[in-house]
């Protein structure tokens, strides 16, 4: 499949690298270089980053936080991560623009589909922060929503795992990897690729998902070049 425009979903946890909390500068640098190399090929890229390396709203409720306030804290964590990636992209010579789901100038521009598409068409990376701007929605769901809005050809879900398996490969040594899998099969097997809201949004709007290991340097561009990396989730 040829990709003209993609939505890249990065996990906040991956930004920790070898650390227990926060951000690993080497990991940010590696991500920025790979994203720049993809942009040089003419691929238009929108990015959504999670906030789990700083604060996760749902786990905060277990510790006494109000759910809505906890989710808002999680949204702010995604903004911090987005600013960090923006800084590293600028350092490697890649133009980019940070958009936020809630008004937060001068931290970032208020997100709109049209402004994000315009930025991408001008060769900028559109980093879309703040989740959906609403509580009770994950950044996976925000990624699905933004991917559909910006008319991406696919969502690229960069994780620590190199695709979708029959079971969790970190817990089950017998787990086998799928090269491709349908949305319906994911439901039937009860696989946790993303939360159900995000998966259903992608299915209903025919947005394919490519699940791959972003932490292995060069994988993003291997997928874009058509190499058999990761797993394609499709209708």
pLDDT in tens, 166-193: 998 888 989 999 999 999 999 999 998 9
Q: What is the pLDDT of residue 12?
A: 95
Q: What is the pLDDT of residue 61?
A: 73
Distance, CA of 25 to CA of 106 (rounded, Å): 24
CATH of the domain at 26: 3.40.1160.10
Q: What is the pLDDT of residue 39?
A: 98
177, burial (CB in 10 Å: exposed 0-12, middle 13-18, buried 19+): middle
Give the total number of structural domains in the chain.
Answer: 1
CB atoms within 10 A of CB 203: 20
Domain that holds residue 99: 5-234
CA distance to 48, 85, 153, 229, per residue, from 183 (Å):
21, 31, 16, 19
Q: What is the pLDDT of residue 62?
A: 77
Q: What is the pLDDT of residue 63?
A: 80
Q: Specify the residue for token string 């994911």.
A: 186
The rounded Cα 116 to chain-centroid distance in angstroms is: 16
Contacts of 142 (CB under 8 A, 6+ apart): 48, 101, 128, 131, 132
Q: What is the pLDDT of residue 168?
A: 86
pLDDT average per 10 residues of sequence, the chain (235 residues): 93 93 96 98 97 83 86 96 98 98 97 98 98 96 98 96 91 94 96 94 98 96 94 97
């Amino acid at each position: 499949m040829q990709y003209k425009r993609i939505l890249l979903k990065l996990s906040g946890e991956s930004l920790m690298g070898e650390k227990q909390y926060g951000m690993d500068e080497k990991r940010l640098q590696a991500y920025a270089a790979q994203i720049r190399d993809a942009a040089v090929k003419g691929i238009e890229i929108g990015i959504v980053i999670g906030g789990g390396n700083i604060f996760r709203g749902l786990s905060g409720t277990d510790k006494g936080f109000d759910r809505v306030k906890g989710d808002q804290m999680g949204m702010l964590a995604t903004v911090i991560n987005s600013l960090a990636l923006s800084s590293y992209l600028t350092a490697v010579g890649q133009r980019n623009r940070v958009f936020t789901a809630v008004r937060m100038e001068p931290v970032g521009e208020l997100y709109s589909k049209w402004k994000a598409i315009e930025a991408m068409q001008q060769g900028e990376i559109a980093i879309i922060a703040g989740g959906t701007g609403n509580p009770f929605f994950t950044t996976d769901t925000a990624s699905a929503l933004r991917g559909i809005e910006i008319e991406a050809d696919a969502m690229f879900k960069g994780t620590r795992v190199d695709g979708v398996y029959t079971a969790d490969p970190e817990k089950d040594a017998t787990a086998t990897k799928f090269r491709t899998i349908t949305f319906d099969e994911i439901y039937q097997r009860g696989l946790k690729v993303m939360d159900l809201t995000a998966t259903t949004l992608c299915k209903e709007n025919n947005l394919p998902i490519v699940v791959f290991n972003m932490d292995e340097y060069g994988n993003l561009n291997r997928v874009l070049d058509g190499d058999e990396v990761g797993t394609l989730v499709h209708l």
